Structure 1
Amino acid sequence: MLNNKTIAVVIPCYNEGTQISMVIDSMPDFVDRIIVIDDVSKDNTVDVVLEYLKKDNSSPLKLTSNLKKTISPTIYNQADIEVHQKNVEEVKKFTPIEILNQNPDQEKIILIKHKKNGGVGAAVATGYKWCKDHDIDCSVVMNGDGQMDPNELNSICTPVVEEDIDYVKGNRLIHKSAWVIIPRIRFFGNSILSILTKIVSGYWGISDTQSGYTAMSNNAINSIPLYDIYKRYGMPNDVLVKLNIAFCTIREVKIKPVYGVGEQSKLSVIKVTFPILFLLIRCFFKRLKIKYLYRSFHPLFLLYWVSFIIGTVNMYFLYHLLINFFNPNSKTPTDYLIIFIFLTISGFQSFLFAMWMDIQDNERLSQ
């Protein structure tokens, strides 16, 4: 425990048989539960973790799922009963699992096996669900490939357990070794995705959006629909949008980039690029609709939409201007050119004003 708060580490795994021992062995003593989620690995990942379960795996802290408790109804707690029932029923919306522990209430390492492959996001969601059901105060995500230094776990958890920050992300890009250690293509791709995710999520102060080394508070984990987390590599971006819609506070802490510890990248840039771009577009409009229309109307909702509508209409004039420009026998209509310039300036101004309002409104969430 840290500051009398329970700490659990969620480790999503897919074919990490060579790395998972290193991750488990290096876990700090203050960690109360290590939750390994195997996403139908084809190697010996499960067998390696099962060997740990055969050893003395007991924990002095007993944790029982709150799904087992019953709430006696009164005239004042109907809302609590509804929330509890929702938590029980939402289990069906997650990837089907099997818990391989004999006594999960008192064992430190919890081994959960997906019955079908769901992706890294689905594995993290399963781990978060376990933490939510057991009232964990601080839920950390560490990959099973050993690319996250357990010695930095304390600095990741501290803002959550001592300052009530809802979500903490490790930032590799601000570390002095980032430009040397991180492969150039990853550094560039991460930077581009981070810029786009700033606009999409509303968290304008973050710079390493793709970092998977994170800590989430109990408040945050109960504020977002865990079963709806994006199941593949766009999961960090999707989680940020969901947290922003829920008005959760966020902070980044400096961590070192770790490469060359025996990990094998399973990321295919070509396969994930377009799905993540489509995800970002969908998430952006979802955030505008839910946060700035349904929950608390804000003028930036109108300004963003005015800029999009103007941009769409302006494509008509741009098309005709280009046609006339490349046709030597035609003359560009002056009125089309004037309208195009006017719409371009108006749309750009609307977009910038909306973005400025978005930055101002979300400053309070970056702490």
Structure 2
Amino acid sequence: MATQQKVAVVIPCFKVKNQILDVITNIGSEVDRIYVVDDCCPQNTGDYVKENCNDERVTVLHNPVNLGVGGAVMNGYSAAIKDDMAVIVKVDGDGQMDPKLIRQFVAPILNGEADYTKGNRFFDLEEIHAMPKMRLFGNAVLSFMTKLSSGYWDLFDPTNGFTAIHRDVAKHLPFNKISNRYFFETDILFRLNTLRAVVIDIPMDAKYGDEESNLKISKIVGEFLVKHARNFSKRIFYNYYLRNMSLASIELPLGFVMLLTGTFYGISHWISSASSGVSTPAGTVMLAALPIIIGFQLILAFIGHDVSSVPKRPFHLTMRFWR
């Protein structure tokens, strides 16, 4: 490949000693450099790769402390950017992702169609039955939350870690602000939206073997809710008040004010009527219902505008004109 078209793969490693060599072996010739990032793994996966892998493309990086998947990927991104790799692919080391799909993840970026690509295990409905039911439900909930917080309404499967990114986009990410651990894949979508980067899904099948999962749903639910709310608030402020203003900038706050006003007005009069035993007049009911209906319609109008505002022009193409 030409220098500007070089492709790198970053593999964050934590408790994947049994799978890592197979993952590296299956990475095709389209990849120029492979960064194996040992995230302070108790199995010393990095040293194991050095001792047992003869692939000249492999560079082993070590995190002095465990930073989580995000911290490991950021380390790999930094090394790939320094080595002038054009596209950086992230593949997990547990063998759940098929390296043969790397070409499909890279092609839209090299063709100028996207800045970032990610896997979607829900594209083929016939293959969904292979996914554990609890994980299926969890991904559906997380996908809806991510649509709200990131603004990418056309994406699904937000926690999918099979991704690829253009170097010029990765260079503009705030490495010190992106969540290091399990919220990494979701948080990076929010950061990409602030850059107005184009993101597309790549269909893929999920594989479940003997890998050890480090994710405990019960421990991350509260954290995810808080971070999604934070990112949603920031995105709305950045896109609708700081950088630009439109009719949607008015629809959202006005809709919430009317919805809350009608709700509280209706509840207060319902309590008053219940305690006094006197029926609420029809006019009072309408005074409560009307702002609720209008508020709900205004919020729906805002969502419609937000859905239509998904980035369309690749960020890395725009950057070429700034140079």
- CA displacement, residues 87-146 of structure 1 (integer Å, 9 cap, x when unaligned): xxxxxxxxxxxxxxxxxxxxx212221122222122222222222333321111111111
TM-score under structure 1 length normalisation: 0.78
Structure 1 position 347 matched with structure 2 position 295: yes
Structure 1 position 251 matched with structure 2 position 200: yes
**C-alpha distance in 2, partners of 1:36/1:324?**
66
Matches within 5 A, 1:107-256: 108-256=57-205
- CA displacement, residues 234-289 of structure 1 (integer Å, 9 cap, x when unaligned): 111111111111111121121111112x2111111111112111111111111111
User: Would the alpha carbon gap of residues 363 and 113 (structure 1) be closer, same or farther in structure 2, given more than 3 Å must change?
Assistant: closer
Structure 2's unaligned 5+ residue stretches are 315-323
Task: Name the SS of the counterpart of 1:111 in structure 2.
Answer: strand
**C-alpha distance in 2, partners of 1:2/1:191?**
40
Structure 1 position 283 matched with structure 2 position 283: no
Task: Name the SS of the counterpart of 1:362 in structure 2.
Answer: coil
**C-alpha distance in 1, partners of 2:78/2:261?**
45
Equivalent residues of 2:266, 2:289 under 8 A apart? no
Equivalent residues of 2:4, 2:85 under 8 A apart? no
Task: Name the SS of the counterpart of 2:62 in structure 1.
Answer: strand
Task: Name the SS of the counterpart of 1:364 in structure 2.
Answer: coil
- Give the C-alpha shift of residue 310 in structure 1: 3.5
- Give the C-alpha shift of residue 151 in structure 1: 0.9
User: Would the alpha carbon gap of residues 305 and 130 (structure 1) be closer, same or farther in structure 2, given more than 3 Å must change?
Assistant: farther
Equivalent residues of 1:164, 1:217 under 8 A apart? no
Paired letter, 2:72: A
User: Would the alpha carbon gap of residues 336 and 127 (structure 1) be closer, same or farther in structure 2, given more than 3 Å must change?
Assistant: farther
**C-alpha distance in 2, partners of 1:31/1:272?**
34
User: Would the alpha carbon gap of residues 281 and 113 (structure 1) be closer, same or farther in structure 2, given more than 3 Å must change?
Assistant: same
2:247 maps to what in 1?
Answer: 299
Equivalent residues of 2:160, 2:185 under 8 A apart? yes
2:321 maps to what in 1?
Answer: none
Structure 1's unaligned 5+ residue stretches are 59-107
RMSD of equivalent CA atoms: 2.4
**C-alpha distance in 2, partners of 1:302/1:321?**
28
1:103 maps to what in 2?
Answer: none
**C-alpha distance in 2, partners of 1:122/1:361?**
30
Equivalent residues of 1:317, 1:340 under 8 A apart? yes
Equivalent residues of 2:193, 2:311 under 8 A apart? no
Provide the aligned length of Structure 1 versus Structure 2: 313
Structure 1 position 19 matched with structure 2 position 26: no
TM-score under structure 2 length normalisation: 0.88
Identity, in percent, stands at 30
- CA displacement, residues 128-172 of structure 1 (integer Å, 9 cap, x when unaligned): 222233332111111111110011111111111123410111111
